[in-house]
Amino acid sequence: MKKINPVKRITILIFIISSTCIACAQQNESLIKAESPTDIKYSTEIVVPDIPIAWGMAFLPDNSLLITEKSGDLIHYKNGLKTSIEEVPEIYVRGQGGFLDIKLHPDYESNGWIYMTYGSADGDGDGGNTTLMRAKLVENTLVDKEVLYKAVPNTKKGQHWGSRITFDNEGYLYFSVGDRGNRDVNPQDITRDGGKIYRLYDDGRIPEDNPFFDDENAKKAIYSYGHRNPQGLTTNPMTGEIWENEHGPRGGDEINIIKKGKNYGWPIISYGINYDGTTFTDLTEKEGMEQPLFYWVPSIAPCGMTFVSSDVYPDWKGDLLVGSLKFSYLERLVLENNKVVKREKLIENLGRIRNVIQGPDGYIYVAVEGKGIVKIIPNES
């Protein structure tokens, strides 16, 4: 056997270690640690108090606020008063499911349509599944209710309902449904609901250019698949792209840019492991499956997501805000060329962050479990 010079051996070893570390750093972007800001430049104010789990928020043109409460209430907050909206759909509440997201049509002032997702027991079988409805609001009552999509089958499992709603710049409607706890079947099967992002016209019709529209057996509303539990969905105001975040298991929460017909890998590839510490896959990448733009290890349990586009927060403009259920803070992700270059913890220890939106006034509003709706107010310099 040929002997290797000790100096050369050390050089080779250093090269291998350095290459491995570089590869790890490139692969595991979540090694960017979330830091608390050294200089707090904002204060917080509870603007809508005493809501147990405020899931969705939508501002009406008069700056009043519609809020979905997970247990089944739709709240209209105006001039300091909370009013429960009548004739809401019957909400199936189980586990992580209940009254979920709410979104106004981009042309709401002309057509009055409001979109909402929720757990519904309608249809065959016991249990429920995620449902998309639109309706109009007249004198604190929902009218003209239309179910646009109901995921099937019903199941008594309480996990992974999704669900968020967004519109793109062309007026298409996107919404998410989690894998409903059926990890090994739903996400990778385009003939089944669950673990998907869906795209519809605003009236519920399915666009003929959806990626699987011509597949006889596919769910034709599917736009992307291979998702676990997407609880963040928003449109990037700078690019028009659809951005999504989803819960991983123990580690492996993701941010993705959603592209037509793409497979985001769950559960074939993942940067997470089972909750009991065992592994369910040895793969973090595979041909034909998308890599996340960013992933968290350990999990932060992301919920809600919005871009900062207003001038109210000049230091945050263009950044992404994501709520953390697990660690009870709002995360600010600084982006450069679709790469996360910095993470920062905001409004720490206030409670589990369920949602975050930018209001029409340019301010950031955060739904905090057990507290209500919190407004972030920049301090005067």
Question: For 324-381, how does the pLDDT look when each residue is reduced to its tens digit (9 = 90+)?
Answer: 999 999 999 999 999 999 999 999 999 999 999 999 999 999 999 999 999 999 998 5
Q: Model pTM?
A: 0.92
Within a domain: residue 311?
no
Per-residue pLDDT at 40:
86
Q: How many domains does the chain have?
A: 1
Q: What is the pLDDT of residues 26-46, one digit of tens each?
A: 344 557 899 998 888 999 999
Residue 37 is predicted with a pLDDT of: 86
- The bridge status of strand 34-35 relative to strand 339-346 is parallel
Residue 219 domain flag: yes
In a domain, 325, yes or no: no
Domain with residue 226: its CATH number is 2.120.10.30
How far apart are alpha carbons 92 and 115 in whole angstroms? Answer: 17
14 has a pLDDT exceeding 80: no
Q: What is the mean pLDDT of residues 294-314?
A: 97
pLDDT digits (tens, 9 = 90+) for 103-126: 999 999 999 999 999 999 999 999
pLDDT tens figures, 63-108: 999 999 999 999 999 999 999 999 999 999 999 999 999 999 999 9
Nearest to 255 by CA among 233, 235, 275, 274: 233
Q: At CA 366, angle to CA 364 and CA 370, rounded to 5?
A: 160
- Mean pLDDT rounded to a whole number for the chain: 92
| Residue 308 placed within a domain | no
Which residues does residue 104 pair with via DSSP β-bridges, in sequence order? 114
d(CA 310, CA 290): 31
Residue 25: its pLDDT value, please? 35
Distance between CA atoms of residues 319 and 56, nearest Å: 21
Whether pLDDT at 22 is above 60: no
Q: Is 172 exposed, middle or buried (0-12, 13-18, 19+ CB in 10 A)?
A: middle
Helix (H) or strand (E) holding 57: strand 54-59
pLDDT tens-digit series, residues 274-288: 999 999 999 999 999
pLDDT recorded at residue 380? 80
Buried b (16+ CB within 10 A) or exposed e, 287-324: eebbbbbbbbbebbbbbbbbbbbbebbeebeebbbbbb
- Confidence class for position 8, pLDDT limits 50, 70, 90: very low
Angle at 285 between CA 279 and CA 194, to 5 degrees: 75
Instruction: Say which of 105, 160, 227, 247 is annotated catalytic.
Output: 160
Estimate the share of the chain in helix, then strand, then coil, as percent rounded to the nearest 5: 10, 40, 50
Residues 229-258 pLDDT 10s: 999 999 999 999 999 999 999 999 999 999
Residue 29 lies in a domain: no
Strand pairing partners for 155? Answer: 128
Q: How confident is the model at residue 16 (pLDDT cuts 50, 70, 90)?
A: very low
Amino acid in position 47: V
In a domain, 332, yes or no: no
- Distance in angstroms (rounded) separating the CA atoms of residues 298 and 273: 10
Residue 266: inside a domain, yes or no?
yes
pLDDT at residue 246, as a whole number: 98
Residue 127 CB burial class (10 angstroms; 0-12, 13-18, ≥19) = middle
Per-residue pLDDT, 5: 54
Residues found in the chain: 381
Which of these ranges, 2-6, 50-54, 134-138, has the smallest mean pLDDT?
Answer: 2-6
Residue 338 lies in a domain: no
Which structural domain, as residue segments, surrounds residue 116? Answer: 53-300
Q: Are 94 and 130 in contact (CB under 8 A)?
A: no
Whether 160 is catalytic is yes
